[in-house]
Structure 1
Amino acid sequence: MKLSSNIALAVAFLTSSLSATASAEAPLVTVQLANDQSGANANVAVRADGVKHTVESLWGKTAVARNGIVYASSTQLTEFQQNTACRISQPGIDVTLDARHTWSWLDGGRVVDLNGASLVCKDA
């Protein structure tokens, strides 16, 4: 019984170590949000590891936030790999950026509240 517990513990440790290593090795990507009405913009670096991040957690304390609420009208990939794809989404907004499409309006140029939005970047 003790042997099987030790084996299970070792497998769990190795699995978590491999996951942490893979995440740490994913390339960094820089995504910018801009409020073209106010002129504010902010860049955030995230790993292209497929992890879902809330926009609020990434940009909530930057120049594009007001009282903790993120407002932006456009987004841009500023540092990325050729096979990187980033997606910003929430109900009514679904924007994907990649090496061929590095900039986009979020909602036709209108400033939108992004506190319900998420960002996922990954290497294809």
Structure 2
Amino acid sequence: MQLTNVTALVLGLLTSSGLAAPPSWVKPATIQLANEQSGAIANVAVPVDGVKRPVQELWGHTAVAHEGLVFASSAMLTVLQQTTVCEFTEELGLDVSMNAEKTYTSFGGGVKDLCAAYVVCKCEGM
């Protein structure tokens, strides 16, 4: 009887942990950052897995970076699925999101230093 309970518990844990990960068919979203002053743009594939990632880590080696710091005025989702939602956040007030209906966002008034910003992409409902 106890073996049955342990087996059920293990199967339950495996099933619930599988629900936390995105399905294998969920493809990464591609986000394009643009710097309106320099004209630089850079596309980066961001996993759609609900993990918060530093913008510096993803775009720090691209055309929108200057000496390793990322500067951008806007973002656009260029590759996505209908259920994709991506959010940019920062402690100092940046809080914007994009989805299939709103694929473009401005960071508000010129070029913004995104060195302390994060991005997270997930499927709606995750």
| Class of the TM-score when normalised by the shorter of the 2 chains | 0.7 to 0.9
For residues 47 and 56 of structure 2, what CA distance do their matches in structure 1 show?
Answer: 17
Matched with 1:35 is 35
Q: Matched residue pairs, number?
A: 114
| Larger relative strand fraction | 1
Query: Among the aligned pairs, what percent are the same residue?
Result: 50
| Larger relative helix fraction | 1
Deviates more, 1:89-98 or 1:67-76: 89-98
Structure-2 change in CA distance of 1:63 and 1:19 (3 Å): farther
For residues 92 and 39 of structure 1, what CA distance do their matches in structure 2 show?
Answer: 25
Deviation readout 1:37-76 (Å, 9 max, x if unpaired): 1000101101111011000000000000000000000000
For residues 80 and 23 of structure 2, what CA distance do their matches in structure 1 show?
Answer: 16
Matched with 1:94 is 95
Matched with 1:3 is none
Q: Which ranges in structure 1 are unaligned for 5 or more consecutive residues?
A: 1-6
Show the 5 A alignment for 1:103-114: 103-108=104-109, 110-114=110-114
Task: For residue 19 of structure 1, report the CA deviation from its aligned partner.
Answer: 7.7
TM-score for the superposition, normalised by structure 2: 0.79
Q: Which ranges in structure 2 are unaligned for 5 or more consecutive residues?
A: 1-6
For residues 112 and 59 of structure 1, what CA distance do their matches in structure 2 show?
Answer: 14
Matched with 2:118 is 118
Contact 1:23 1:47 in 2 (8 A): no
Show the 5 A alignment for 1:30-69: 30-69=30-69
Task: For residue 101 of structure 1, report the CA deviation from its aligned partner.
Answer: 0.6
Cα RMSD after superposing both structures: 2.4
Matched with 1:4 is none
